[in-house]
Structures are given as C-alpha cells and as structure tokens.
C-alpha cells in the first residue's frame, strides 16, 4: 500500500513568509519573534535565500552547506537559518553540524523535536494562515507566470522615478550600467534602495510586468525648494530621461559577484552594510527625455513617494493601467 502525500505546499512558502516577516513587512508580528534572543538588538540589513556557505569538519576537510536563509546584520555578523515544516527534519548531510558550528537557527511550523545546541523558533500557525489567506491569489499568479503562463494575464504596471539630471549620481550610475552592456543590447539592470517598502513592492513584481523608469527634477521650474517633490497635481515636472521596460527577471540578489556592489559607494562593503542590494533585470521597449510634463495630475503622489530622497530613492510604486497610459501619452506628446 502506498500512502499518498497530500501536502500541497512547499517549504518555499515558509521562506516567503519569513522574508516578509524579517523585512518588517507584516502586521501584528515582530521579526524578533522568529529570531534567537541574542539577535534581538541587531538590525537586519539583508536576507539571502539559499546561499552556499563553507565550513570545516573534524578532519579539517571543507564541506558546503546551503542554508534556506542567511540574515546579514548591520554589525557585520550573519545568521544561517534552516526552515522546516517540522523541527525534527528531515535535514541534509552536515546541516545540523553546520548550524551548531555557526550558531545558526531553526524556524519551523511544528516544533516536535529539540535539536541539541541549536536555537529554535516556532511560526505562529494562525498568523501564517491569515497571511496565506491574504496572499494566496497573488502567490498563485507569481507561480503560474514563473512557470510560463502568459504574463499579460496578470501584468502589472510600475512607476520608478528617482530624482535625476545630467550631473546627478542617478544619471551617472544609469549611464555606467548602459555602458557596461553592449550598446546593441536592450537588456538592462537596476537596483532598489534597501528600504522595507521598496522590498515589499519589489517582491510583488513579476516577469512580464511593465516598469516606467523616469529621472525627474524641478530645476528652473521655481517650485520645490527642498529635495522632496510636493504632492501638487497642478505642478509641472521635468523628465530628464524616461525608459519603458518589460521585466525579464523580477528579483535577484548576489553578495559575491562584481554586480553585487555595482551601485555601492564602496565595493568592499560587507552585505550587512550595503544600500543597493536588490536587483531587477529589464528589457528596454522605448525611451526619450529632456521634456517637461505640464502637470503631474493623478500621478503626483506616486512621483513624490517613489522619488523620496534617502528613503525610497526611486523605489517601485504600482500604478493602474489607466494611469500608466496617461503617463505614456504625456511623455510621447511632450517629446
């Protein structure tokens, strides 16, 4: 007799829940509730799923382990985490040894067994269940599109509008990125500032979505005197550069390649201190620039939110199709 496995979920679902929890994206739960007490005073900067790590066994032989998550804190330390339905396992070869050596952590939905010398936390099932109920439709669409479903079925539209002009850091970095790619290539990349709202929205971006990237400013307009844009629908807005993109790879993160520190001020920064670690890869569809939109209209607040200096710094903001069409028409008509 063969027992049928009726478990419809993968542990990846727990990984996604924990990512949102640790980045402070969920209501009614503190990241500390799923961290060992020794980490409660630390500040999370970056979380990397399934990163290969190396250690040495009793015979002085190297071995590799791939924890489900690795959290990098701003103090330079890290915490490898194994995520399980049950704390009893199963575990891969050397996983428990590695967690003991590296002072790692286990997070599980069911805590049915203590593991010697390893700290543990148990996920609150009711909280996880509520999260799953709220996120089930979008998670189902994410999965279907990643497996080849026609992306237009669930296409979303995003505004990315960092402050920028000819001599700005934004334009310098964007031009460096374009120069790195062949001039004939329309496949580009960008990174979003490490901010909880940016991460929240970035994780919702899907393959096939459309991103409208604009470098905006108010130079010579005699309007805002500070760095922030005002939320005034009647105000004009300079667009130094605009590019319409289709998303090819929604989210990548790498801590070791040359690309991983491409937008950082110091390429020797450890992962716990990086500001621009969240990457997206895009295909250029259309571009233009050096124009002024006569009024910000219904996009006024979205421009302000996305561009917010030192906070979102050009983070992704979702807009509906009607607003996207309105923006695209304005950009084309002002050329």
H, E, C per residue of 169-234: HHHHHHHHHHHHCCCCCCEEEEEECCCHHHHHHHCCCCCCCEEEEEEEECCCCCCCCCCCCCCCCC
Total length of the chain: 335
pLDDT 10s digit of each residue in the chain, 335 long? 444 444 546 788 999 999 999 999 888 899 999 999 999 999 999 999 999 998 887 778 888 999 999 999 999 999 999 999 999 989 988 899 999 999 999 999 999 999 999 999 999 999 999 999 988 888 888 777 777 776 676 899 999 999 999 999 999 999 999 998 766 689 999 999 999 899 999 999 999 999 999 999 998 898 877 788 999 999 999 999 999 999 999 999 988 888 899 999 998 889 999 999 999 999 999 999 999 999 999 999 999 999 998 889 999 999 999 999 999 999 998 76
Q: What share of the chain is helix, strand, coil (3-state, %, to 5)?
A: 30, 30, 40
Query: What span, in angstroms and rounded, lies between the C-alpha atoms of 314 and 127?
Result: 32
Q: What is the pTM of this model?
A: 0.88
**Do residues 103 and 89 touch, judged by C-beta distance below 8 A?**
no
pLDDT tens per residue, range 114-156: 999 999 999 999 999 999 998 888 888 877 777 777 667 689 9
Q: What domains are defined for the chain?
A: 12-132 (3.40.1350), 152-334 (3.10.590.10)
Q: CA-based Rg of the chain, rounded to a whole angstrom?
A: 22
Helical axes 12-22 vs 125-146, angle rounded to 10°: 110
Q: Tokens for 261?
A: 């520190």
Query: What span, in angstroms and rounded, lies between the C-alpha atoms of 1 and 22?
Result: 42
Residue 302 sits at φ, ψ, to 5 deg, of -65, -40
Query: What span, in angstroms and rounded, lies between the C-alpha atoms of 87 and 171?
Result: 49
Number of H helices, E strands in the chain: 7, 13
pLDDT tens per residue, range 219-274: 889 887 778 899 999 999 999 999 999 999 999 998 888 889 999 999 888 999 99
């Amino acid at each position: 007799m063969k027992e049928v496995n009726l478990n419809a979920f993968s542990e990846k679902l727990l990984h996604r829940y924990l990512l949102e929890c640790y980045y402070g994206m969920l209501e009614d739960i503190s990241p500390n509730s799923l961290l060992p007490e020794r980490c409660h005073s630390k500040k999370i900067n970056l979380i990397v799923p399934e990163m290969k790590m190396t250690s040495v066994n009793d015979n002085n032989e190297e071995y590799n382990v791939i924890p489900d998550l690795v959290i990098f804190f701003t103090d330079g330390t890290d915490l490898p985490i194994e995520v399980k339905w049950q704390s009893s396992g199963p575990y891969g070869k050397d996983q428990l040894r590695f967690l003991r050596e590296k002072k790692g952590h286990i997070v599980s939905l069911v805590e049915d067994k203590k593991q010697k010398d390893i700290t543990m936390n148990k996920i609150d099932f009711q909280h996880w269940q509520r999260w799953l109920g709220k996120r089930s439709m979008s998670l189902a669409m994410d999965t279907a599109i990643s497996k080849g479903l026609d992306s237009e079925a669930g296409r979303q539209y995003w505004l990315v509008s960092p402050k920028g002009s000819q001599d700005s850091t934004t334009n310098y970095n964007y031009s460096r990125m374009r120069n790195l790619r062949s001039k004939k290539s329309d496949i580009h990349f960008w990174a979003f500032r490490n901010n909880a709202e940016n991460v929240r929205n970035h994780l919702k971006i899907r393959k096939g979505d459309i991103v409208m990237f604009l470098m905006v400013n108010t130079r010579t307009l005699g309007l805002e005197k500070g760095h922030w844009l005002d939320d005034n629908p009647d105000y004009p807005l300079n667009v130094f550069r605009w590019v319409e993109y289709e998303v090819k790879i929604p989210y990548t993160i790498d801590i070791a390649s040359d690309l991983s520190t491409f937008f950082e001020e110091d390429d020797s920064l450890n992962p716990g201190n990086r500001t621009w670690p969240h990457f997206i890869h895009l295909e250029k569809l259309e571009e233009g620039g050096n124009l002024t939109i006569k009024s910000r209209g219904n996009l006024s607040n979205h421009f302000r939110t996305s561009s917010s200096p030192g906070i979102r710094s050009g983070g992704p903001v979702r807009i509906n199709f009607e607003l996207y069409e309105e923006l695209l028409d304005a950009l084309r008509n002002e050329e």
